Structure 1
Amino acid sequence: MGNDGHAPRMPVPQRCRQLGARLRADDGAAAVEYMIIAPVVLALLFLAIQIAEYSYARSIALTAAQQGVDAGRAYTGGPGGAFEAASDFVDQAAGSSLSDANVRVNAGPEQVTVTVTGMSPSLVPWIPGWNVSQTATGPVERFTR
Structure 2
Amino acid sequence: MRQTFSLLTKCRRRTGRLQEDRGFASVEFAVLAVVTLALVFTAIQVGLYYHARKVAQSAARQGVEAGRQFSASEGDGVAQAQTFLSRFGGSVRGASVSSSGSSAQEIRITVRGNVATLVPGLTFEVVQHASAPVERWSTP
Structure 1 and Structure 2 fold alike (TM over 0.5): yes
SS at match of 1:128: coil
The sequence identity of aligned pairs, in percent, is: 37
**Bigger shift: residues 41-50 or 61-70:** 41-50
SS at match of 1:113: strand
Q: Does 1:130 align with 2:124?
A: yes
Unmatched segments (≥5 aa) in structure 2 = none
How far did 1:105 drift? Answer: 1.1
Which residue matches 1:5?
A: none
How far did 1:11 drift? Answer: 7.0
How far did 1:76 drift? Answer: 2.6
**Residue deviations 1:41-82 (CA, integer Å, cap 9, x gap):** 212221111111111111111100000001111113221210
Q: Which amino acid aligns with 2:110?
A: T
Aligned length: 136
TM-score when normalising by structure 2: 0.86
Unmatched segments (≥5 aa) in structure 1 = 1-7
Q: Which amino acid aligns with 2:132?
A: G
Which residue matches 2:83?
A: 88
Which residue matches 2:47?
A: 52
How far did 1:33 drift? Answer: 1.4
What pairs up with 1:1-145 in 2 under 5 angstroms? 14=8, 15-95=10-90, 97-106=91-100, 107-125=102-120, 127-145=121-139
Indicate how the Cα distance of structure 1 residues 10 and 69 shifts in structure 2: closer, same or farther if over 3 A, else same: farther
Could you tell me how far apart the structure 2 residues matched to 1:12 and 1:138 are? Answer: 86
Could you tell me how far apart the structure 1 residues matched to 2:64 and 2:135 are? Answer: 11
SS at match of 1:134: strand
How far did 1:37 drift? Answer: 2.2
TM-score when normalising by structure 1: 0.83
**Residue deviations 1:96-128 (CA, integer Å, cap 9, x gap):** x11111000133221000000010012112x23
Q: Which amino acid aligns with 2:44?
A: I
Which residue matches 1:3?
A: none
Structure index of larger Rg: 1
Q: Which amino acid aligns with 1:64?
A: A
Could you tell me how far apart the structure 1 residues matched to 2:130 and 2:3 are? Answer: 80
SS at match of 1:103: strand
How far did 1:18 drift? Answer: 3.9
